[in-house]
Amino acid sequence: MDIILLGPPGAGKGTQAQRLEQRRGMRQLSTGDMLRGAVKHGTPVGLKAKEVMDRGELVSDEIVSELIDAELTAMGDDVGAIFDGYPRTAGQAESLDRILASHGRALDHVIELEVDEDALVERITGRFTCAQCGTGYHDTFKQPEVPGVCDKCGSTEFKRRPDDNEETVRTRMAEYRAKTAPILPIYEERGIVSRVDGMAGIEDVTRAIDAILG
């Protein structure tokens, strides 16, 4: 089963993708994570993407679609993909159809996390992750069970993203509204879109997604 989690920055896509990985053995494919990896390692893609990401704008369709294609090539056919933060434009949506077909795969569900924009700045400015394993946390909404220690791997080091500041978030939200939200009708025509209340608690959102996936 291959699915897209769609929603503005801070909607909870990464949080839910990590939970689906653990519960269903699916695989999270986050172009944001891939790009941050490329920036960290100073690859040619990373060098191109860094400033665009710092501004909160979108990197080129070509770059992200190539990253996704490479990940799917490396991945087993029997493992379901959770697309997180991709596609983000009509061009990427077209590329994804082509890429999936070339791998003998197809989309089963597009799940839109509906959120109240006013809440997103708080979600994003409070976000941090484990520096070791990438598990996501929040200052107010999801502290580790033992303060300062990652639930999953026990690491005591955490990090925050440079683009998780209020100004960049506003640009990222504007990009979402202008370029990403308009791709939903493509999937609506196919009858594969479901909506989930992303303002509910993390557990409730997971339950709602489980009910859709069956």
| Residues forming the active site | 13, 88, 127, 161, 172
Compute the distance between CA of residue 1 and CA of residue 81 in angstroms, rounded to an integer: 7
149: contact with Zn ion by CB under 5 A: no
Q: 42: left (phi > 0), else alpha (psi -120 to 50), else beta?
A: left
89: DSSP letter: S
Distance CA(51)–CA(49), nearest Å, equals 6
Q: DSSP assignment, residue 208?
A: H
| Residue 133 sits in the site that holds Zn ion (CB under 5 A) | yes
Specify the 3-state DSSP secondary structure of 110.
Answer: strand
Structure tokens belonging to residue 53: 């990401």
Q: How far is the CB of 147 from Zn ion (least distance, A)?
A: 14
Binding mask 79-118 for Zn ion (x = CB under 5 A): ----------------------------------------
CB 145 within 8 A of CB 37: no
The residue (of 77 and 116) whose beta carbon lies closer to ligand ADP is 116
Q: Under DSSP, is residue 105 helix (H, G, I), strand (E, B) or coil?
A: coil
User: Which residues lie near ligand ADP (CB under 6 A)?
Assistant: 7, 9-15, 31-32, 35, 52-53, 56-59, 64, 85-86, 88, 92, 123, 126-127, 136-138, 141-142, 172, 201-202, 205
Query: Using the rule CB under 5 A, which residue among 63, 100, 130, 205 binds Zn ion?
Result: 130
Residue of the chain from 125, 132, 171, 194 that contacts Zn ion (CB under 5 A) = 132
Residue 47, marked binder: no
Q: Could you tell me the smallest distance in angstroms from the CB atom of residue 18 to ligand ADP? A: 8
